[in-house]
């Protein structure tokens, strides 16, 4: 009995062992049990995760490889857009101007507008900082007020506080506020500062690809050589007719000029890109509708619960208060804005 009591006393003493540590946010000393790995300061609210200290910093070669990859994809995207615009103008507009001069000028104006919008949104999304986190005072008790670093964590890569809904991007080597994901095709993160530009870029790509597909199909129809199908018998098998049509198409393709092959390539390329971009845009709009980001949807951390609904889309695109009242109603619009402002404060 004495041995069992001694063992129980030893276990109790082991569980009650505490050690002293320092909060990185305010510098105050904190007493913790030996089993605690994640703790929150009772004064400033900063969260400390001691398991993060086990992470190894990224090597320089890792960062250089990601930079080269992003630059390669950015160059590919820019070259693809230039090829589609230049090749489309060269292949399509002789047919358009043959209809009438006004029709040619009209479609040239549409091409110029779509090109300017697409390139502008691309450069805003690619070369604008995705979202800088706010600079706050930390590390000293007299400066850091009570709750001043509520739910802040410490970024070991940047060596500074990281506010809620902020993630560190290992490619950009910086913390991004409200980060959605890192997109190699723009060579930048998608965050609070350029998320709208990224969505505008996706929408402009879809509209432009639809326009290119329609115009290239129309021009290819006008320059396609006539199909020569000889129908000797009135009652022929369907397979025989299909073979004759395929043979006639193959012969007509051989008679196509270079402009025709360019039109076929542009039509298939624009449709393929449009399908892929539409899937990405639908995913982004669904996440915005849920009031979430892609990274937070995977980790379920640092979420601000604003509820699902169209109000998230209106808030994301910065719609005026009148749009809230029309779609949500006056009472719901006021409640939503009050709840959102209280969550963000």
Please list the residues that pair with 48 across neighbouring strands: 39
- Bridge partners of residue 40, in order along the sequence: 47
Strand pairing report for 174-177 and 47-49:
unpaired
Distances, alpha carbon 217 to alpha carbons 95, 224, 237, 266, in Å: 11, 10, 30, 9
Beta bridge partners of 168: 175
How many Cα atoms are found within 13 Å in the side-chain-facing hemisphere of 206? 14
CB 345, CB 336: distance < 8 Å: no
Q: Determine the Cα–Cα distance for residues 305 and 318; give it in Å rounded to an integer.
A: 19
SS3 content of the chain, % helix, strand, coil (to 5): 60, 10, 30
- Let me know if 315 is a catalytic residue: no
In the set 44, 183, 189, 209, the catalytic residue is 183
Is there a contact between 182 and 171 (Cβ–Cβ < 8 Å)? Answer: yes
Could you tell me the end-to-end alpha-carbon distance of the chain, in angstroms, rounded to an integer?
58
Give CA 127 to chain center in angstroms.
14
Question: d(Cα 273, Cα 232) in Å, to the nearest integer?
Answer: 43
Tell me which residues are annotated as active site: 183
């Amino acid at each position: 009995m004495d041995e069992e009591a001694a063992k129980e006393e030893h276990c109790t003493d082991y569980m009650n062992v505490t050690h002293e540590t320092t909060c990185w946010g305010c510098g105050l000393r904190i007493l913790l049990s030996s089993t605690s790995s994640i703790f929150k300061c009772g004064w400033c609210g900063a969260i400390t995760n001691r398991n993060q200290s086990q992470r190894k910093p990224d090597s320089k070669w890792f960062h250089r490889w990601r930079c080269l990859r992003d630059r390669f994809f950015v160059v590919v995207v820019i070259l693809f857009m230039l090829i589609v615009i230049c090749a489309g103008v060269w292949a399509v507009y002789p047919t358009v101007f043959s209809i009438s001069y006004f029709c040619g000028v009209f479609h040239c104006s549409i091409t110029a507008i779509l090109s300017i919008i697409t390139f502008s949104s691309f450069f805003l999304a690619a070369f604008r900082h995705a979202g800088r986190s706010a600079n706050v005072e930390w590390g000293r008790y007299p400066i850091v007020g009570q709750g001043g670093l509520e739910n802040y964590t410490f970024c070991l890569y940047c060596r500074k506080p990281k506010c809620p809904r902020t993630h560190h991007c290992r490619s950009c080597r910086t913390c991004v506020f409200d980060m959605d994901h890192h997109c190699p095709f723009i060579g930048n993160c998608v965050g609070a500062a350029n998320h709208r530009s990224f969505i505008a870029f996706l929408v402009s790509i879809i509209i432009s690809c639809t326009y290119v597909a329609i115009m290239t199909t129309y021009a290819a129809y006008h320059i396609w050589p006539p199909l020569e199908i000889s129908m000797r018998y009135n009652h022929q098998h369907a397979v025989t007719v299909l073979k004759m049509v395929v043979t006639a198409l193959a012969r007509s393709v051989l008679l196509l000029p270079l402009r025709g092959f360019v039109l076929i390539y542009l039509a298939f390329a624009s449709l393929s890109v449009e399908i892929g971009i539409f899937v990405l845009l639908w995913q982004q709009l669904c996440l915005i509708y849920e009031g979430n980001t892609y990274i937070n949807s995977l980790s379920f951390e640092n979420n601000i619960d604003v509820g699902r609904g169209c109000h998230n889309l209106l808030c994301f695109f910065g719609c005026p208060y009148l749009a809230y009242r029309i779609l949500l109603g006056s009472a719901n619009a006021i409640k939503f804005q009050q709840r959102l402002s209280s969550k963000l404060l």
